[in-house]
Amino acid sequence: MSHVRIEGLTKRFAGKPPAIAVDDLSLEIEPGEFIVLLGPSGCGKTTTLRCLAGLETPDEGRISLGDQTVLDAHGKINLPPNKRRIGMVFQSYALWPHMTVRRNIGYPLRTRRVAREQARTRIEEAAELVDCSALLDRYPAQLSGGQQQRVALARGLAAQPDLVLFDEPLSNLDARLRDQVRAQLHELHARLGFTAVFVTHDQSEALALGDRLAIMRAGRIEQLGTPERVFEEPATEYVAGFIGMSNRLPLRRQGEGWGLADQPGTDDPSGAAGQTGTAGQPGATGQAVAHELPVPRSHSEISARLRPDDLRLCPAEEEPPDHGVGLPAEVVDAQFGGRHMDVVVTVAGNRLHARAPLTGKPWARSLSRGQRVTAWFAKDAAIYYDADGVRTATHAPAAAVGA
Amino acid sequence: MTAPAVPAPAPTTTPPHPAPAHPTALTRVRRHLPRFGALVFLLAIGYLVIAPLVGLQRLAFEDDARGYSAAFDDPDMAATLVRTAGLALGSLAIALVLGTFLAWAATRLPPRLRLLRVLPILPIVVPAVAAVTGWAFLFSPRPGYLNAALRTLPWWNHLDEGPVDIYTLPWIVLITGFGLTAFVYLFVSAGFGNINAELIEAAQVNGSSAAGVFFRVTLPLLRPTLVYGGFVALLLGLGQFTGPLLLGRNNGIDVLTTDMYVAVSQSPVDYGRAAAIGSPLLLLGIAVVLFQKVILGDHSRFVTHGGKAFRSGGRPSWVAVTGIVLYGLVALALPLGALVVVSLSAFWSGRITPSGFTLDNFRRVFQESGITDAIVNSLTTSVISVAIALPLGFVAASLLLKGRRFRVIRAAVDFIVAMPLGIPAVVFGAGFLLTYSREPFILYGTRTVIVLVYVTLMLPFATRMQLSGMVSLGDTYVEASRTSGAGALRTTTEIVLPLLRPTIAGAAALMFVLLTHEFTASLLVRAPTTQVMGTILFDYWSNGSYPLVAAIALVMTLVTSAGVFVAMWAAGSDIFEKL
């Protein structure tokens, strides 16, 4: 366990033009902390991890693990991976097929010259930690995917490295196994308290595992915070979109209230035509939809972000409650999802996704294409972003919202 | 989770922190060590491959390029050039058509007969000298067995000889084409393997007939393979030596390679002229290698065989089975059969007399010290060369794959290693003969010079096969080792080498086979007292001791087959596809 400090890390890949994979990234990791780097593919999260491991040669920056400077681009220091006290777990497991599980787990101990007897007990301890004691004398090819990944985990932890790096270790597993191994990993971290950096593009994985999340975009950290904070208060629209607020509604100030803004490139051909709502056109552009929103006066163009859970549906003739914003909408598609319906509606050319609960109110079950409904959301359930995608100043209450 | 509670391990077991690194003079030297090592390696293989070629060209340009004027003022030269091109293009056409057909046929075999797939490869097992002599025993105008048989047919029964004269250009082209077919088959089969089965199935579902699928989908998809394989086959055709030497030389049917051989082996020996004769081949070889590196770039090398393997979309075809069996009969059974018959006979005549069969020829093979010495030489030089070529190839492959830091060195190694594939062996043979017959290394007549030639010729194979093995191994095994705390050396010995073992074994066996076959370069660098199997066979051929020639050819074939079996056992039956 040790403090990890990354300062000004920059990595460019040669090409025309050169691609900046990591852009002046700084991050401090406390001892025992579990940091998750979350982002879509190509955002630089894996490159950052590989720089920490010493598998890439960064162009700029410093990295220290504990009191050891492992990278200093100016001082021409870039220690090879084997000179850093790390462990790493790979997406493809990377268990060496010609070695038994015991030799695989023992390899990092052998390279670090741990005495034979001690290594023996530590291999068995590590295997026990991940429930693989019975597999020690098998070869990787004889193991299932979940077993292989658990062995890989044991190998990464066996030498008790200062820092354990995880490169999307769960994404090759099928959904059920993924949940199992994830739970096991969470428990292991709670028990052993190793410092970890975990790369993933799966938001539920990130929320479940991380002490802190770093949402990455184009080689930079867009938001760094606890899972609760990132989930409830995404700082930018990009983070909101990534963390599950998939519904986006552009709004424009109209006198005292707010109306739906133009949606360029709308998929509804008549959407741009009407200035006021016409009979054949639900929620046309320019229609006033709300009087007050918790947004500072200085903003005139905003977008509201909503989780599907927070977009409610009711029959067209019903009025939404006072604290809600009602939108005339048309159903595009409705899918049965067990306890809820997944409904896609259009509001002035914006496709919105609603998750309508089926408990108690069977009305949503009968929704069909072309049906007029009212979609509404509570004003404080949405988060509002300005034209640059930055959250507007007035804070919505951080209380849990949603169904 | 059911694991018993284990106390969190005490942090004291972590190894002590090493002193923080400061760039000292020592570390600065160490940082440049890899570059220095790569440079030394480049110089070593550079000398090995290029020095003989440079030596030849220096001679050719001496005295106002006297070598060139001697070679190209010769009135026969134009005819020789045309003949060489004709031989190469003609045999290429035959090989492309036959090889593609066989590769297609191999995908259409019924499951029970899948084993027939290896049949088109088997002719590689038969050394070229053995195959050519076998054909001569069949189609020699007067005593050829098949000619004698054909003369019993009513419309040919008035003939005294023929109807086929194998000692003429068309037949040399045909036999050379047969020899190249196996190579094209290998390339195209590998190409078929890379075609996603679903592409074929999609074409069928969309209403194409079998022929339509082949011409509209399969063949266009194979085009890159055919172009690349065609270039290799063209180079091989241009460098063909065995067929023209054994069949055409006595009738004055010379090509560049045989001309070159004559210039260095018969008095007056004229290295300058020989070098000049070889220059068109040298230039073309270099051009093709450059073309391949520049145009195809790195891409072709790093293609991985992902996706679904080629499953013949179509039903088993009896045309396919018949075609493959027929080819096997003609290309393999006929020449080998002729060799067996002649080797068992006291002398070679057009008539087969089973009652007179004897094993005397084989007894002589194992009694005459010249022949046994040659066998021993072949085996020892081959084994030693393989043992040297493998580590060289490993270093070269690692450098090509990982040496992004030294771009110039890497590009040079890439080029040098490919040269022996592009430049005919006869050019290398002449170059080595010249270079190692004088200061500073006088090695003429030793086995060392044979080993040097063999190592050079095997560099492309040793490198390419290990490179493709490393590529398919991927980076993560190595990265997992490095992040587990292992240095480069331990990673190589404990992870890379064990994982590459099948590849290395396969490469070793294949090179052993190619080297025990080797005839062209061996013939140039051998001395009367230092022979290998191919050259001693040629000597007996020149003396007219045909039954003995047949026996030696069969022994060669057996040695090679043993090598192939070891290869398949060590590396699985698909080793040839890794070329």
Question: What's the CA gap between B491 and A220, in Å, rounded?
Answer: 33
Question: What's the CA gap between A151 and A136, in Å, rounded?
Answer: 9
Average pLDDT over residues B300-320: 54
- Asked whether residue B527 is assigned to any structural domain, the reply reads yes
Same-domain pairing of B82 and B133:
yes
pLDDT number for residue B304: 38
Between chains, do A81 and B479 touch, taking CB under 8 Å as contact? yes
- Asked whether residue A395 is assigned to any structural domain, the reply reads no
CATH code for the domain in which residue A370 is found: 2.40.50.100
Same-domain pairing of B84 and B192:
yes
pLDDT number for residue B255: 86
Same-domain pairing of A234 and A252:
no
Q: Å from B394 to nearest chain A CA?
A: 20
Residue A131: its chain B contacts at CB < 8 A? 1-3
Check the CA dihedral A299-A303-A307-A310 and report its sign. Answer: positive
Residue B26: its chain A contacts at CB < 8 A? none
pLDDT number for residue B12: 39
| Strand ranges inside A255-385, DSSP E | 257-260, 288-290, 301-306, 312-315, 324-336, 340-347, 350-357, 372-378, 383-385
Between chains, do B8 and A191 touch, taking CB under 8 Å as contact? yes
Average pLDDT over residues A280-299: 69
**What is the gyration radius of the CA atoms in chain B, in angstroms?**
27
Average pLDDT over residues B405-415: 85
Domain tally, chain A: 2
Q: Å from B77 to nearest chain A CA?
A: 50
Between chains, do A76 and B23 touch, taking CB under 8 Å as contact? yes
Between chains, do B480 and A96 touch, taking CB under 8 Å as contact? yes
Same-domain pairing of A286 and A221:
no
> Is residue B247 scored above 70 in pLDDT?
yes
Residue A81: its chain B contacts at CB < 8 A? 479, 482-483, 485
> Is residue A278 scored above 50 in pLDDT?
no
Same-domain pairing of A63 and A181:
yes
pLDDT number for residue B23: 52
Q: Distance of CA A119 to CAs A380, B74, B467, Å? A: 57, 78, 35
Between chains, do B17 and A187 touch, taking CB under 8 Å as contact? no
Domain finish residue from A214, A239, A264: A239
Q: Is the peptide bond before A17 cis (omega within 30 degrees of 0)?
A: yes
- Asked whether residue B20 is assigned to any structural domain, the reply reads no
- Structure token digits, residue A265: 């490139």
Q: Å from B308 to nearest chain A CA?
A: 19
**Which of A3, A71, A90 to substitute to test the interface with B, most B CBs within 10 Å?**
A90
Same-domain pairing of B295 and B396:
no
Domain finish residue from A239, A268, A284: A239
pLDDT number for residue A401: 40
Same-domain pairing of A117 and A194:
yes
CATH code for the domain in which residue A47 is found: 3.40.50.300
> Is residue A102 scored above 90 in pLDDT?
yes
Same-domain pairing of B282 and B406:
no
Average pLDDT over residues B133-157: 81
Amino acid at B50: I
Same-domain pairing of B297 and B379:
no
Average pLDDT of chain B to the nearest whole number: 80
Residue A88: its chain B contacts at CB < 8 A? 479-480, 483-484
Q: How confident is the model at residue B277 (pLDDT cuts 50, 70, 90)?
A: confident
Q: Å from B549 to nearest chain A CA?
A: 47
Contact B180, B91 (CB under 8 A): yes
- Asked whether residue B157 is assigned to any structural domain, the reply reads no
Between chains, do B487 and A82 touch, taking CB under 8 Å as contact? yes
Same-domain pairing of B241 and B369:
no
Q: How confident is the model at residue B388 (pLDDT cuts 50, 70, 90)?
A: very high
Between chains, do A128 and B6 touch, taking CB under 8 Å as contact? yes
Same-domain pairing of B448 and B564:
yes
Between chains, do B476 and A98 touch, taking CB under 8 Å as contact? no
Same-domain pairing of B427 and B292:
no
* Per-residue model confidence as pLDDT tens digits over B326-335: 998 888 888 8
Same-domain pairing of B247 and B377:
no
- Asked whether residue B50 is assigned to any structural domain, the reply reads no
Same-domain pairing of A233 and A303:
no
Contact A213, A226 (CB under 8 A): yes
**Least confident segment among B4-13, B203-212, B460-469:** B4-13
* Per-residue model confidence as pLDDT tens digits over A306-341: 999 999 888 888 888 888 888 889 999 999 888 888
Between chains, do A80 and B487 touch, taking CB under 8 Å as contact? yes
Q: Å from A220 to nearest chain B CA?
A: 25
> Is residue A288 scored above 50 in pLDDT?
yes
Same-domain pairing of A205 and A322:
no
Which residue in B249, B279, B278, B281 sits closest to B266, CA to CA?
B249
Among B9, B13, B480, select the one facing A88 at the smallest CB separation.
B480
Same-domain pairing of A97 and A234:
yes
Domain that holds residue A103: 4-239
Please report how many Cα atoms fall inside a 13 Å half-sphere around the Cα of residue B500, on the Cβ side: 31
Between chains, do B17 and A76 touch, taking CB under 8 Å as contact? no
Same-domain pairing of B391 and B452:
yes
Q: Are strands A34-38 and A212-217 parallel, antiparallel or unpaired?
A: parallel
Q: Å from B487 to nearest chain A CA?
A: 6
* Per-residue model confidence as pLDDT tens digits over B414-459: 889 888 888 888 888 888 888 888 777 777 778 888 999 999 999 9
Domain that holds residue B125: 56-142+165-304+313-332
> Is residue B198 scored above 80 in pLDDT?
no
pLDDT number for residue B470: 87
Among B479, B485, B499, select the one facing A112 at the smallest CB separation.
B485
Which residue in B538, B535, B555 sits closest to B133, CA to CA?
B538
Between chains, do A90 and B480 touch, taking CB under 8 Å as contact? yes
| Residue contacts between A and B (CB atoms, under 8 Å) | 113
Same-domain pairing of A328 and A188:
no
ipTM of the shown complex: 0.79
Question: What's the CA gap between A235 and A214, in Å, rounded?
Answer: 12
pLDDT number for residue B396: 92
Listing from the earlier edge strand, what are the strands of the sheet with A77-78?
Answer: A19-29, A4-13, A60-65, A68-72, A77-78
Among B4, B9, B23, select the one facing A160 at the smallest CB separation.
B9
- Asked whether residue B71 is assigned to any structural domain, the reply reads yes
pLDDT number for residue B503: 83
Same-domain pairing of B300 and B442:
no
pLDDT number for residue B301: 42
* Per-residue model confidence as pLDDT tens digits over A185-201: 999 999 988 999 999 99
Please report how many Cα atoms fall inside a 13 Å half-sphere around the Cα of residue B305, on the Cβ side: 17
> Is residue A152 scored above 90 in pLDDT?
yes
- Asked whether residue A261 is assigned to any structural domain, the reply reads yes
β-partners of residue A224 are: A214
Same-domain pairing of A232 and A330:
no
Which residue in B338, B179, B160, B169 sits closest to B247, CA to CA?
B169
CA dihedral A193, A194, A200, A204 (to 10 degrees): 0
Residue A80: its chain B contacts at CB < 8 A? 482, 487-488
Q: How confident is the model at residue B371 (pLDDT cuts 50, 70, 90)?
A: confident
pLDDT number for residue B394: 93
Which residue in A224, A211, A193, A156 sits closest to A31, CA to CA?
A193
Residue A185: its chain B contacts at CB < 8 A? none
pLDDT number for residue B344: 86
pLDDT number for residue A46: 92
Between chains, do A94 and B479 touch, taking CB under 8 Å as contact? yes
CATH code for the domain in which residue B292 is found: 1.10.3720.10
Q: Is B487 on the interface with A (CB under 8 A)?
A: yes
Domain finish residue from A239, A272, A301: A239
CA end-to-end distance (rounded Å), chain B = 49
Q: Å from A271 to nearest chain B CA?
A: 40
Between chains, do B3 and A130 touch, taking CB under 8 Å as contact? yes
Query: Which residues lie closer than 8 Å to B248 by C-beta, 6 or more apart?
Result: B167, B169, B172, B254, B255, B258
Q: Å from A126 to nearest chain B CA?
A: 9
Residue B484: its chain A contacts at CB < 8 A? 82, 87-88, 107-108, 111, 155, 159
pLDDT number for residue A262: 63
Question: What's the CA gap between B547 and B348, in Å, rounded?
Answer: 7
Same-domain pairing of A63 and A86:
yes
Same-domain pairing of A155 and A209:
yes
Among B5, B9, B482, select the one facing A82 at the smallest CB separation.
B482
Question: What's the CA gap between B245 and B172, in Å, rounded?
Answer: 10
Domain tally, chain B: 2
Between chains, do B481 and A96 touch, taking CB under 8 Å as contact? yes
> Is residue B13 scored above 70 in pLDDT?
no
Between chains, do B9 and A53 touch, taking CB under 8 Å as contact? no
Between chains, do A111 and B484 touch, taking CB under 8 Å as contact? yes
Average pLDDT of chain A to the nearest whole number: 85
Same-domain pairing of A75 and A221:
yes
Q: Are strands A60-65 and A34-38 parallel, antiparallel or unpaired?
A: unpaired
Q: Å from A163 to nearest chain B CA?
A: 11
Between chains, do A184 and B6 touch, taking CB under 8 Å as contact? no
Between chains, do B484 and A108 touch, taking CB under 8 Å as contact? yes
Contact B429, B523 (CB under 8 A): yes
Residue A140: its chain B contacts at CB < 8 A? none
- Asked whether residue B88 is assigned to any structural domain, the reply reads yes
Same-domain pairing of B77 and B170:
yes
Q: Is B7 on the interface with A (CB under 8 A)?
A: no
pLDDT number for residue A308: 92
